[in-house]
């Protein structure tokens, strides 16, 4: 059943209602997760929620992973599904899941994400060199502390020695975020701002800013911003959410698998910094040339599948 009041909402009120649904969903899942966590982990462990200062304790890491999955479900995956049902009465159509993906398009995207590594690493290197004015030194210290805490948490999550641990991390760090973050940022936020601005470009870049900012890792803001924009254009040009989900999944899974192989002596640590360092500009230039060629090819191959003009995006 399509609720006509939701179906006919103007872009801004619809965006505000979307935010309301997202907040309610997150709080509901968090409360439910706390109730389940008490018998699962013990009331003392739950009441004394572990932080980055207790990452050496496997029990603490397990609790944090549990709430990470809850966050993916309650904040990113469930709200867009609910909103798709309310706004269109068709979740698949609302989230652009109703268009199939050709094998050639999928292969282009996988090659694109691999070739983009040097350019992404260079933007990350440039981002880390950012310095704020002296009068903002307090904010800069807070940003660095936040970045260090996020890095410690990521290291604790990904530090596994077994194949089972690797598979779980791919599920938690690659699959769930790829689905959830694309549902929310490209399916809901990008759609909303595209309707408000009547421009796919504005919708893509505004949602990319939110996508990068929500990660709260300021020294990785630029590469995430560019990745968010790339995912947005892939959605518009293909007309299918499966394409940015695939690109997002490959990007995250590649990082998870690489770190696992490095930690277990199966790969050189230099892979993590490929494209940065002494010849970074050279590698980045080559990377950008190939990115441009592949995107041009991808766009032309999918001309018949592109999303409609902004004013017709909900039709």
State pLDDT tens for residues 104-128: 999 999 999 999 998 998 898 888 8
Return the DSSP state at 110: H
Decide which of 260 and 139 is more confident.
260
State pLDDT tens for residues 23-45: 999 999 999 999 998 888 877 76
Average pLDDT of the segment spanning 132-146: 80
Average pLDDT of the segment spanning 152-178: 93
Looking at the predicted structure, is the pLDDT value of residue 208 above 90? yes
Q: Is the dihedral of CA 236, 240, 241, 246 positive or negative?
A: negative
Read off the pLDDT band of 263 (50, 70, 90). Answer: confident
Looking at the predicted structure, is the pLDDT value of residue 226 above 90? yes
Residue 275 has what pLDDT?
61
Q: Which two tokens stand for residue 53?
A: 């200062």
Residue 314 has what pLDDT?
66
Quick one: three-class SS letters along the chain? CCCHHHHCCCHHHHHHHHHHHHHHHHHHHHHHHHHHHHHHHCHHHHHCCCCHHHCCCHHHHHHHHHHHHHHHHHHHHHHHHHHHHHHCCCHHHHCCCCCCCCHHHHHHHHHHHHHCHHHHHHHHHHHHCCCCCHHHHHHHHHHHHHHHHHHHHHHHHHCCCCHHHHHHHHHHHHHHHHHHHHHHHHHHHHHHHHHHHCCHHHHHHHHHHHHHHHCCCHHHHHHHHHHHHHHHHHHHHHCCCHHHHHHHHHHHHHHHHHHHHHHCCCCCHHHHHCCCCCCHHHHHHHHHHHHHHHHHHHHHHCHHHCCCCHHHCCC
Residue 312 has what pLDDT?
60
Instruction: Tell me how far apart the alpha carbons of residues 274 and 88 are, in angstroms, rounded to a whole number.
Output: 44
Residue 193 has what pLDDT?
96
Q: Which two tokens stand for residue 246?
A: 């695939």
Alpha helices per DSSP H over 159-275: 163-169, 176-181, 191-197, 200-214, 221-238, 242-263
Residue 144 has what pLDDT?
83
Looking at the predicted structure, is the pLDDT value of residue 277 above 70? no
**Whole-prediction pTM:** 0.92
Residue 28 has what pLDDT?
97
State pLDDT tens for residues 53-71: 567 778 888 888 999 999 9
Looking at the predicted structure, is the pLDDT value of residue 175 above 90? yes
Residue 231 has what pLDDT?
98
Contact 160, 260 (CB under 8 A): yes
């Amino acid at each position: 059943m399509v609720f006509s009041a939701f179906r006919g909402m103007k872009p801004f009120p619809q965006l505000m209602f979307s935010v309301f649904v997202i907040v309610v969903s997150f709080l509901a899942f968090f409360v439910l997760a706390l109730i389940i966590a008490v018998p699962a982990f013990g009331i003392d462990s739950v009441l004394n929620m572990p932080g980055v200062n207790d990452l050496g304790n496997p029990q603490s890491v397990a609790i944090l992973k549990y709430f990470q999955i809850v966050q993916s479900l309650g904040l990113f995956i469930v709200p867009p599904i609910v909103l798709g049902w309310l706004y269109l009465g068709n979740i698949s159509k609302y989230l652009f899941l109703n268009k199939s993906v050709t094998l050639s398009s999928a292969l282009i995207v996988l090659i694109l994400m691999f070739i983009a590594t040097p350019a992404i690493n260079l933007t990350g290197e440039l981002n880390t060199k950012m310095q704020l004015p002296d009068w903002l030194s307090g904010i800069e210290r807070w940003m660095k502390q936040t970045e260090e805490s996020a890095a410690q948490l990521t290291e604790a999550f990904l530090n596994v020695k077994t194949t089972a641990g690797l598979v779980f991390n791919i599920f938690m760090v690659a699959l769930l975020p790829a689905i959830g973050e694309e549902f929310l940022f490209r399916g809901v936020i990008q759609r909303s701002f595209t309707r408000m601005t009547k421009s796919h470009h504005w919708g893509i870049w505004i949602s990319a800013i939110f996508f990068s900012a929500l990660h709260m890792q300021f020294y990785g803001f630029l590469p995430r911003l560019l990745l968010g924009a790339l995912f947005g254009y892939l959605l518009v040009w293909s007309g299918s959410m499966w394409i940015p989900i695939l690109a997002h999944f490959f990007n995250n899974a590649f990082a998870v698998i690489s770190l696992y192989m490095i930690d277990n002596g199966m790969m050189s640590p230099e892979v993590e910094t490929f494209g940065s360092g002494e010849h970074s500009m050279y590698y980045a230039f080559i990377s950008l040339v190939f990115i441009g060629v592949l995107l041009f090819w991808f766009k032309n191959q999918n001309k018949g599948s592109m999303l409609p003009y902004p004013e017709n995006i909900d039709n």
